[in-house]
Amino acid sequence: MSKDNHTTTHSRDARVLELYEELLEIEQRLIPTGLHILGQPSGRSEKADLLKMIAAFDRPESMATALPDLVAQGLGLSSEIEDREKIDSLVKQVIHDLLASGVDSAVAFLIDSNVDAGLSRPMLELLSSVSKSLDSNYELDSLVRALRGEFIEAGPGADIVQNPGILPTGRNTHAINPYAVPSAVAFTRGEEVANSLLDRYRSENGRYPQAMALVLWGLDNIKTQGEGVAQAFWLLGVRPVRDAMNRTTSVSVIPIEELGHPRIDVVMTVSGIFRDLFSPTVQLLDKAVRLVASLDEPAEQNFVRKHALEQIERDSCDLDQAAVRVFSNAPGNYGTNVNFMVMDSQWDQEETLGDLFVTRKCFAYGRDSKGRSLEGLEARVAMDKALSRVEATYQNIDTFEIGLTDVDHYFEYLGGVSKAVEKRAKSRPAIYLSDSLSRDSKIRSLEETVRLESRAKTLNPKWYEGMLKHGFRGVAEIENHVSNTFGWSATADAVDDWIYSEVANTFLFDESMLERLRDLNPHSAHSLVRRLLEANGRGYWDAEESVLDKLRDISRSLEDQLEGVA
Ligand code: BEZ
Ligand code: MG
């Protein structure tokens, strides 16, 4: 074989392996199959999937080690792809055995794989107890009690994989003590994610981003005890400082040598919910920026200071004005409205969407150097300036239950801020998301995440058949997913043509599927066709004229049906 041939074979094999890894990723992804029905426990296979996900993480609070790690150690397996499949299949079997025959049987099963009973038992006991809690819940009972005005027991609000202690459901979920944020675990995970984020940017751009825009949400930071906050701290290079009562009331500087990367200029757009729930944390984030801006460090090691000094020089302003980085809605206001504008097709130029984001979110929070509260002061110019330097935008995905295409909030926030940056920085930022479902704090680009979500959910028969079981509402969910996907075209041009083509093939050009949608919910079916035509009309989907003709026919026939003509 010639050298060239060898290289080609080699790169072909590498590409096949890459594709195979992507397929595994899609196959193994946990997705919600259908909507939740109040009071109804999950089915057996759904439960097994969930337990497998819970088993994939160490649970220090139960002294339990992740099952895949135990199996890998027991059998001396590596992280090579064949080994990973073997591990995955064994973990599946153990969980099946646990559900069918109980903890002792599953322990014995693992002894055959050379896993010590003392090591496997804590995790299996935990899974067994989670399994029991999943079989019963207080949802209906509590609803009735709530309607009667009676007491409902309190319970933590979190993601089930992150904290199985939320079970049983049907309790009065409580949030979090903002002074406990970020927790020690969240701070450790925040470092991993911040480093992965910077590594990813560097691998694509050959240098660090000087400024990033982060979206922070309340519910996320409740569920993760402040991982988003921790990521912002690590990018800036500060750590939380706790007072004598163990409350996080201040921050201290992490020296550059220890930090291992320059201090990134972080522009934070926080949701109205975050602002309300985490008021002390908002103050801390602002304090962290001002502290870092005041450090006497070289420009190439401290981009916050670099940018603040440039702004002071150029605009003859002071450090107080040049270091505003925490923005939210005006007091009492919530949301960006970018989602409504997109959903109602009420826009002409894309930049309107970014401008709307800034109009809604340009209110500054924190304190100036004299300790005076900004209290949501309108600061449009400051926000425009801060965004004009941004090179990358980022948001956490904190749960498997809600992803990029499940709700319109991700594109209104991350899409909105990215579009605002694009105009102000005169260049589209790199857009990233983290994946709390992967054990190695994986960072994906927006485009990659949209592809994964489309394959794992919208275009996945397991997902849409689960939705269609709910009839009218299920069709509305499918249409929502397509519209939310469209939101990523409008705000970030992040949707490949094939995704729209496959939506058309799957839901509209398959006659029996179209019949089902028509029967169950012709309104949503009609909206879905209109959205595809809009995607083409606005230049986001390059479709053949014959495809568009077919869509127009379907649209007309649905209109006739809705108007009672057909
Ligand atoms: C939040 O948790 O902050 C949030 C949730 C949904 C939409 C927007 C923000
Ligand atoms: Mg395109």
pLDDT digits (tens, 9 = 90+) for 452-489: 999 999 999 999 999 999 999 999 999 999 999 999 99
Q: Is 401 left (phi over 0), alpha (psi -120 to 50) or beta?
A: alpha
- Mean pLDDT calculated for residue range 313-339: 97
Cβ-proximal residues to 529 (8 Å cutoff; 6+ apart), any chain: 508, 551, 554, 555, 558
Confidence of residue 1 (pLDDT cuts 50, 70, 90): very low
* End-to-end alpha carbon distance in the chain: 66
Instruction: Report the C-alpha gap between 46 and 52 in whole angstroms.
Output: 10
Atom of ligand 1 nearest to the CA of 335: 8
Instruction: Report the C-alpha gap between 250 and 248 in whole angstroms.
Output: 6
- Contact yes or no for 452/444 (Cβ under 8 A): yes
Contacts for 117-121 with beta carbons within 8 Å, 24 or more apart? 119/65, 119/70, 120/67, 120/70
Instruction: Report the C-alpha gap between 233 and 360 in whole angstroms.
Output: 25
- Contact yes or no for 280/365 (Cβ under 8 A): no
Instruction: Encode pLDDT of 495-546 as tens digits.
Output: 999 999 999 999 999 999 999 999 999 999 999 999 999 999 999 999 999 9
> Does residue 217 have its Cβ closer than 6 Å to ligand 1?
yes
Residue 535, token pair as written in the block = 């995607």
Please provide the average confidence, as pLDDT, over all residues in the chain. 93
Residue 208, token pair as written in the block = 């660090």
Give the model's pLDDT for residue 4. 57
Q: Minimum mean pLDDT among 287-291, 383-387, 396-400: which range?
A: 396-400
Residue to probe by mutation, ligand 1, list 219, 276, 404, most atoms within 8 Å of CB? 219
The candidate with the shortest Cα–Cα distance to 433, out of 414, 417, 420, 451, is: 414
Instruction: Encode pLDDT of 178-195 as tens digits.
Output: 898 998 889 998 999 999
> Does residue 400 have its Cβ closer than 6 Å to ligand 1?
no
Atom of ligand 1 nearest to the CA of 220: 2
49 CA → ligand 1 middle, Å:
27
Residue 95 has pLDDT above 80, yes or no: yes
Instruction: Encode pLDDT of 167-179 as tens digits.
Output: 999 999 876 788 9
Atom of ligand 1 nearest to the CA of 217: 3
Give the model's pLDDT for residue 162. 77
309 CA → ligand 1 middle, Å:
34
Instruction: Encode pLDDT of 5-63 as tens digits.
Output: 667 888 888 888 888 888 888 877 777 777 888 999 988 888 999 999 999 988 888 89
The candidate with the shortest Cα–Cα distance to 72, out of 61, 86, 59, 55, is: 86
Q: Respond yes or no on whether the N-terminal peptide bond of residue 168 is cis (omega within 30° of 0).
A: yes
Instruction: Report the C-alpha gap between 121 and 455 in whole angstroms.
Output: 36
Confidence of residue 99 (pLDDT cuts 50, 70, 90): very high
- Contact yes or no for 508/514 (Cβ under 8 A): yes
Instruction: Encode pLDDT of 424-462 as tens digits.
Output: 999 999 999 997 666 667 899 999 999 999 999 999 999
